[in-house]
Chains A and B, each alone.
Chain A
Amino acid sequence: MDFGFNEQQREVQALARKILSEQVSAQSLAAYDEYAQPRFNAALWQQLAAAGLAGVALDECHGGMGFGFTELALLVEEVGRSIAPLPVISHGLAALALQRFAGRAIRDALLPAAAAGEILLGVALSEPLNEDPALPLAVKARPEGDDLVLQGVKTAVAFAAQADRILLAARHGDDVAVLLLNPRAPGVSLEALETTSFEPQYDMLLDGARVPAADIICTSDGAAMMDWLAQRVTAAICAHQLGAADCAMRMAAGYTSERKQFEVPVATFQAVGHRMADCYIDIECLRLTTYQAVSLLDSEQPALTEVQIAKIWAGDTGHRVSYASQHVHGGTGIDREYPLWRYCLWLRHNEMTLGCSAAQTAALGRRLAAGEALFT
Chain B
Amino acid sequence: MNIQFTQEQLALRDELRAYFAQLMTPELRAECERDMGEGGGPLWREALRQMGRDGWIGVGWPESWGGRGLTPLEQFIFVEEVMRAGYPFPFLTTESVGPILAEHGNDWIRAELVPKILQGELLIAIGYSEPGAGTDLASLKTSAVRDGDDWVINGQKMWTSLAHFCDYTWLAVRTDPDAPKKHKGISMFLVPNSDPGWSCTPVHTLGGVRTNATYYDNIRVSADHLVGDLNGGWKLITGQLNRERLSLINFGPISQLFNQVTRWARETDLPAGGRVADQPWVQQNLGRCRALIECMKLIVYKQSWAMTVGALEMADASAAKVYGSEGFIEIYRMLGEVVGQAGLLRSGSGQGSAEAGKIERLYRTASIITFGGGANEIQRDIISAAGLWMPRASR
Residues on A lying within 8 angstroms of B by beta carbon are: 1-6, 9, 70, 249-250, 253, 256-257, 264-265, 267-270, 273-274, 276-278, 280-281, 284-285, 288-289, 291-292, 294-296, 299, 301, 305-306, 308-309, 312-313, 360-366, 368-369, 371, 373-375
Contacts and interface: CB of A to CB of B under 8 A. Distances in A.
B393 A268 contact: yes
A312 B291 contact: yes
Given A249-B388, A253-B389, A296-B3, A309 B9 contact: no
Q: Is the interface of B mostly helix, strand, loop or mixed?
A: helix
B367 interface: no
Q: Is the interface of A mostly helix, strand, loop or mixed?
A: helix
B191 interface: no
Interface residues of B, number: 58
Contacts of B282: 365, 369
Interface string B248-287: 0000000110110011011000000001011010111111
Contacts of A284: 299, 316, 319, 323
Contacts of B322: 277, 281
Interface stretch (B117-125, B157-165, B217-225, B379-387): B379-387
A274 B286 contact: no
Contacts of A250: 388
Contact of B2 (A2, A274, A305): A2
Given A362-B280, A368-B287, A369-B286, A295 B1 contact: yes
A296 B36 CA distance: 39
Contacts of B290: 305, 309, 364-365, 368, 373
A51 to B, nearest CB: 21
Interface stretch (B102-110, B200-208, B301-309, B345-353): B301-309
B305 A365 contact: no
Contacts of A6: 1
A270 B381 contact: yes
B284 A289 contact: no
A369 B301 contact: no
B390 interface: yes
Given A256-B390, A374-B259, A270 B377 contact: yes
Given A277-B387, A289-B291, A371-B266, 13 more contacts: A1-B3, A2-B1, A253-B384, A253-B388, A277-B322, A280-B315, A281-B323, A289-B298, A296-B3, A308-B291, A361-B287, A364-B290, A374-B259
Contact of A369 (B278, B379, B380, B393): B278
B293 A375 contact: yes
A121 B216 CA distance: 74
A324 B282 CA distance: 30
A185 B381 CA distance: 59
B299 A270 contact: no
Return the 9 tightest CB-CB contacts between A and B, nearest first.
A365-B283, A365-B287, A277-B380, A273-B384, A288-B298, A277-B383, A253-B388, A375-B255, A361-B287
9 contacts: A3-B305, A70-B1, A274-B381, A295-B3, A362-B284, A365-B286, A368-B262, A369-B283, A374-B259
B76 to A, nearest CB: 10
Contact of A309 (B3, B259, B294, B315): B294
Interface string B65-77: 0000000010000
A291 B3 contact: yes
A281 B383 contact: yes
Nearest to A265: B391
A277 B293 CA distance: 20
A321 to B, nearest CB: 12
B381 A273 contact: yes
B181 interface: no
A299 B1 CA distance: 11
Contact of B4 (A249, A267, A299, A313): A299
Nearest to B297: A375
Contacts of B286: 364-365, 368-369
B4 A301 contact: yes
